[in-house]
Amino acid sequence: MSTFSGVRTDGLSDIDSVLVQEANRIGADIHAENVHTSPWLDLIPKGTFPEGMGYRLQSLIYERALPTNAAQDEIGLAWGDFAGPSGFKSGQDHSSSVTGTAGLLNDSVSDFHGPLANDAVGTEAATSPSRIDWQKRLEPYSLKRATVWSPEINVDDLRFAAHRNEQLSASFDALAEGVRYGWEERYRDEYQRVVNFVVECLATSATVITNTSLTGGQADDRFDNAAPTGSTVNIGNGVLDKIYNAMVRAGAGKKAYGMENGRPIFALVLSSEASFTLQTETQQLTDMRESSRVDELLAPLGVSKSFRGFYHIIDDLAPRYRLAVAASDGTDASGAAYTDNDYFRVEPYTISSSVIIPNTAYEASTAKWEVAFVLHKEVMESLIPNPVGSSGEVKFDPVDYSGRFHWVNIKSVDLNPLGTVGNFLGVLASATKPLKTKFGYAIIFDRTSGTAGG
């Protein structure tokens, strides 16, 4: 860390310059702290938000395309007899044309059907050509921004503070940790928002994996204030087997995170308790197996083994919910009133006397509903805008939108005439671009239940 002396005659400007230098270090520390600490920070693809196209864009998504008949009511190619190089009528004898005893133009025009026709035997173009059409849809996305201010720092106080270097270092670490947590929450919540399928673990054989919404869920939180559709049970391998097979048939295996015996291995982000539940489920004889090929993004997270088609990637801050109490829980983030016995989000931390502490309600048995995610790299991409320093002849101070902090010391006649008070300011901005959202699943289950979902 940079050091300085507070006894110099120019100590004020010296301290101020050190804070500017340390602001740059915070950005580096944020990156260092983020590396290999969370699947949400490591595994969500990231790109650059395009410039000069506004704040709201649309993502063009092509649905899966397969061959169909001409009427588009049957899947598969329509096969007919090959009628020859010129497309002669099937069933007609053209052997003399081939041996040279007759000309190729001896057939009538009605015998010719073109080289792209599929002719059935003895008929004229009875089999119509097949088609491969594609359906596409537009998914809107927009840029969101968050700003983070540190408490005010008086550089005069720093002159005489005991252990000021240590105090400043602790402050910088707190800023870096706070931004890391903010990005992690952002990516987790955005993934839950854009996934196509939301699954409630129900009793054996009752779970439906094709639901796209729950009644009452919010746009930004699919479960908060949503009504349970049935009596939920714990997460089970039966549910994940259904999801695995559905993903393979949907084509998600092409960019899976690994391969084992020629089969794709997907990523399952869940709490350590949920992972243990799956591995110790009654009558489960499958061992954790070393995978023949693990994605380079997973290895730094310590992931090398799979279980029944999934890598278990631990997220011990997984979303949890309790049942809402309308009389005391008020309204949700959208302003809608909670309804009794709907899901209510419980955060892992809370504020007590201005201090951040673990939330005991998060560990309580009442917050028994937890969410796990099937994480696929093609579901979404986070786009962060590049800093802009100029536009033509107009110059600006470039702003880093990844969360890098800037030391801001703004002079004011009333509040800061000598420029002795400043703050660290960080600006975060990103847009979530939806991609193949049908490859993503959010799974809610009762973590206290002794029954496995199926």
* The pLDDT value given to residue 313: 92
**Mean of pLDDT values over 124-147:** 79
CA–chain centroid gap for 117, Å, is 45
Q: Which residues have a Cβ under 8 Å from the Cβ of 42 and sit 6 or more positions away?
A: 35, 36, 297, 300, 301
Instruction: Assign 206 a pLDDT band (cuts: 50, 70, 90).
Output: confident
Residue 109 has pLDDT above 60, yes or no: no
Residue 208 has pLDDT above 60, yes or no: yes
> DSSP 3-state assignment of 239?
helix
* The pLDDT value given to residue 100: 47
- The domain locations on the chain are 11-62+135-186+381-434, 67-133, 195-379+435-446
CA–chain centroid gap for 357, Å, is 28
Find the Cα–Cα–Cα–Cα dihedral 98, 103, 105, 107, rounded to 10°.
-70
The pTM is what?
A: 0.79
* The pLDDT value given to residue 35: 43
**Residue, of 419 and 321, whose pLDDT is higher:** 321
CB 372 within 8 A of CB 235: yes
* The pLDDT value given to residue 154: 83
* The pLDDT value given to residue 19: 61
CB atoms within 10 A of CB 85: 9
**Mean of pLDDT values over 363-377:** 96
Distance in angstroms (rounded) separating the CA atoms of residues 409 and 416 = 9
* The pLDDT value given to residue 349: 94
Q: Which residues of 149-179 are buried (b: 16+ CB within 10 A; e: fewer)?
A: ebeebebeebbeeeebeeebeebbeebbeeb
Distance in angstroms (rounded) separating the CA atoms of residues 37 and 10 = 41
Would you say the C-alpha torsion 237, 238, 241, 246 has a positive or negative sign?
Answer: negative
> DSSP 3-state assignment of 287?
coil
Q: Where are the alpha helices (DSSP H) in 72-147?
A: 95-99
* The pLDDT value given to residue 410: 86
* The pLDDT value given to residue 328: 92
Question: Which of these, 40, 31, 42, 29, lies nearest to 317 by C-alpha position?
Answer: 40
Instruction: Assign 362 a pLDDT band (cuts: 50, 70, 90).
Output: very high
**Residue, of 5 and 81, whose pLDDT is higher:** 81
Q: Which has the minimum average pLDDT: 122-126, 219-223, 383-387, 426-430?
A: 122-126
**Residue, of 74 and 357, whose pLDDT is higher:** 357
Q: Which residues of 278-313 are buried (b: 16+ CB within 10 A; e: fewer)?
A: beebeeeeeeeeebeebbebbeebebebbbbbbbbb
**Mean of pLDDT values over 413-420:** 86
Instruction: Assign 120 a pLDDT band (cuts: 50, 70, 90).
Output: very low
